[in-house]
Amino acid sequence: ANGAHVPAVVIGSGYGAAVSALRLGEAGITTTVLEMGRLWNEPGADGKVFCTMTAPDERSMWFKRRTEAPLSTLLWLDVVNRNIDPYPGVLDRINYDDMSVYVGRGVGGGSLVNGGMAVVPRRDYFEAVLPGVDAAAMYDRYFPLAQAELQVNTIDPEFYAKTEYYRFSRVAAAQAEAAGLKTVFVPDVYDFDHMEREAAGDAEKSALGGEVIYGNNHGKMSLDKTYLASALATGNVTIASRHQVTAIEIDADGNYALTVEHRDDANELIESKRLTCRHLFLGAGSLGTTELLLRARDTGALPDLDEAVGAGWGPNGNVMTARANHLWNPTGLKQSTIPVMGIDDWDNPEARVFAELAPLPAGIETWISLYLAITDNPERGHFTYDAAADKAVLNWSLEQAQPGVAAAKSMFDRINRKHGTSYRYDLFGDDRAFADDFCYHPLGGCVLGEATDAYGRLNGYERLYATDSSLIPGSIGVNPLVTITALAERNLEAILAADFA
């Protein structure tokens, strides 16, 4: 209700936020979670909660008039995207000048739209990226805890070896291995028992039915089924969906006062509320958390926030590319949407790359091998607050993406040379073989130990915390969800022990 006070508020409901909500709830602290996206639990007219990738409707994207899929064309034709009605759909694409960022919107954040790949980073790289964090505690305790809570599992290699749904992956893996590269299975939060039942015809198809970036109707253990369900079960946590925080202030008693806009599905304002809390956790994602803090600092609402807020952003070296296979190497009409294998060449000092073998579930034979490469790109961008637009603007140039492109090119040139194959130039617009202008893994903006102390407490204030991907300085070398979760577990444990006495 308007003017209400709660002990703790969590902004957002992705990984960092969900961990915070559960651990606060377990500690007996009454907590309100504010999420701007929808609660995705009710079927639409077609009986499904989410739409598919091949027939997207208004549920697909966040207030767009046309879908903006990562692969926009095939044979340079705009056959992928569809006109849609503006609606609070589950996937957003935020377009800055030289970089577009995909994020999830809804109760569960990115877990609703992502591939669920749950990879623990290499310890030496983790130590280099976050030297202030006790790596022994992370690898002994918090990574295993995160994996257990997230219900991480791995595909049965026998199922993988036989099923037509992973032909695309076997073809790409064999080619990488023939070129002397190492491949590894990648764990995931998609329930592989469910996937095997899908293949056998005993369960409704989701991963095997072309669903992922616009939501999975079955099979995926997204946060609403894990951390957030456990948080609600404590009885101390409530989640308010379609509630967007637009401003943060501090009152004379040191409570945080939030401006919160509750909107309907047509985006009409139902109510603008003022909510106060003692402890405030920002889990709105790298972009969302950074924007709220920059606005608070630069409008003078929280003037003592560190100058480092806004700095240290990177796309986790994301570069997408695709190769054209020979006619005798079809990649399969049927493709699971969940990648389960990666090429691991992180030991190559010339070009450190960890590349997922990604599906292209087009429903037709394409002979395409698609990859999402994670590269060790040292470039960093930063956000500034544009007062006139009341928005955070990302300062990142296409030149800054080039070290990542060069590393990816070195890996895939090697595979092409070995097999006499070439790149596909028709998938990303503009005759480009490498998509260097969008990412799935935004990291940083409120870097741990720079804008915050060693546990995510914002410098300059008390009882104010960043708890999500904004803490990680731009790169982690693998898909980031497990690291975000484990880091939040570690930080919350310390914060609950010290700040709630």
Q: Provide the binding-site residues for ligand FAD, judged by CB under 6 A.
A: 11-17, 34-37, 102-106, 109-110, 113-117, 213, 244-245, 283-286, 288, 292, 440-441, 468-469, 479-481, 484
Structure token pair of residue 119: 């990879």
> In DSSP terms, which residues pair with 185 in a beta bridge?
341
Please spell the DSSP secondary structure of 397-433, one letter per residue.
Answer: -HHHHHHHHHHHHHHHHHHHHHHT-EE--SSSSTT-S
Minimum gap (Å) between residue 174 Cβ and ligand FAD: 23
What is the distance between the alpha carbons of residues 8 and 6, in angstroms, rounded to a whole number? 6
Minimum gap (Å) between residue 476 Cβ and ligand FAD: 9
What is the distance between the alpha carbons of residues 267 and 215, in angstroms, rounded to a whole number? 21
Minimum gap (Å) between residue 127 Cβ and ligand FAD: 19
Minimum gap (Å) between residue 464 Cβ and ligand FAD: 15
The smaller minimum CB distance to ligand FAD, of residues 90 and 325, is found at 90
Q: Which residues contact 489 (CB under 8 A, 6 or more apart)?
A: 19, 23, 142, 145, 146
Minimum gap (Å) between residue 418 Cβ and ligand FAD: 27
Say how far residue 459 (Cα) sits from the centre of its chain. Answer: 26
Minimum gap (Å) between residue 421 Cβ and ligand FAD: 26
Find out whether 132 and 42 touch, Cβ atoms under 8 Å. no
Active site residues: 356, 441
Round to the nearest angstrom and report the end-to-end CA distance of the chain. 28
The smaller minimum CB distance to ligand FAD, of residues 82 and 418, is found at 82
Strands 368-375 and 318-324: antiparallel
Find out whether 466 and 293 touch, Cβ atoms under 8 Å. yes
Please spell the DSSP secondary structure of 315-376, one letter per residue.
Answer: -TTEEEEEEEPPTTS---SS--SS--EEEEETT-TT--EEEEEE----SS---EEEEEEEE-
Q: Which amino acid is at 42?
A: E
